[in-house]
Structure 1
């Protein structure tokens, strides 16, 4: 096995550190109440990908089905999701965003994107913004592995 290059180790450390700081900052900007990061992630996935079963969500979120069941129950209790019988298998339920859930996701997304756009416009040059766009493509490729 070959040794990991020092540049890869440094890049890994930098990505992890910056990601953590940016994530905290974005949570501060968006008023998500007391939703957990896992709950927020599920709402975001439903918004982006549409309805899914709990087992599909567990697989996509890479958590145990029991953990997803608890997340779904908490989101349903808050009225942020709707559950309907799966049209192909009546034993399962399709989970989708409720109107209240959609408003939470869209409001949060809008607040975070506005903050980011204003900060990028104010503090970065056009060339730096293009570099950020290119870096996001690379990080997206990494996240897809």
Structure 2
């Protein structure tokens, strides 16, 4: 078995740690009202434009159907999703974003991007920002493996 270089182990730990903290910080910057991270995640999935059933969302989010039902009920109370009968199976309902849901997601994304751009401007030089861009290009290759 091939030994993993110490630099790879350190890079893996550092990447995971930095991305975890950055994800947390971005959630803080533009939280969608009093929605939980799991509720926000469901909204983000629905933003892709394809209506989904509660069971499909539960599978995608890796939660029990009962948990997804509670999540959807909470989101619906905010008027961010709507339910319609599935034309292929009248027993099921398809969930999609309302216009308010789309606006909430877009506003949240805009706030996160503005905070991140402002932080990069205020705390990094142009050369450092170029280094970040280059490093992200390298990291992007990870998701292509």
TM-score exceeds 0.5: yes
The 3 A distance-change label for structure 1 pair 144 and 66 is: farther
Deviation at residue 114 of structure 1 after TM alignment: 0.7
Deviation at residue 128 of structure 1 after TM alignment: 3.6
Q: Answer yes or no: is 1:27 the counterpart of 2:11.
A: no
Q: Residue 90 of structure 1 aligns to a residue in which SS?
A: strand
User: Which consecutive aligned stretches of 4+ in structure 1 deviate over 6 angstroms post-superposition?
Assistant: none
Q: Answer yes or no: is 1:63 the counterpart of 2:73.
A: no
RMSD: 2.5
- How many residues align? The count is 145
Q: What is the TM-score when the length of structure 1 is the normalising length?
A: 0.81
Greater Rg over alpha carbons, structure: 2
Which position in structure 1 is the counterpart of 2:112? 112
Q: Residue 35 of structure 2 aligns to a residue in which SS?
A: coil
1:97-108 equivalent positions in 2, closer than 5 A: 97-108=97-108
- Kept in 1, the 8 Å contact 2:54–2:68? The answer is yes
Deviation at residue 78 of structure 1 after TM alignment: 2.0
1:87-102 equivalent positions in 2, closer than 5 A: 87-102=87-102
Q: What is the TM-score when the length of structure 2 is the normalising length?
A: 0.81
Residue ranges of structure 2 left out of the alignment (5+ in a row): none
The 3 A distance-change label for structure 1 pair 63 and 142 is: farther
Q: C-alpha separation between the residues in 2 aligned to 1:49 and 1:134?
A: 31
Deviation at residue 135 of structure 1 after TM alignment: 4.1
Deviation at residue 126 of structure 1 after TM alignment: 4.2
Deviation at residue 116 of structure 1 after TM alignment: 0.9
Residue ranges of structure 1 left out of the alignment (5+ in a row): none
Which position in structure 2 is the counterpart of 1:85? 85
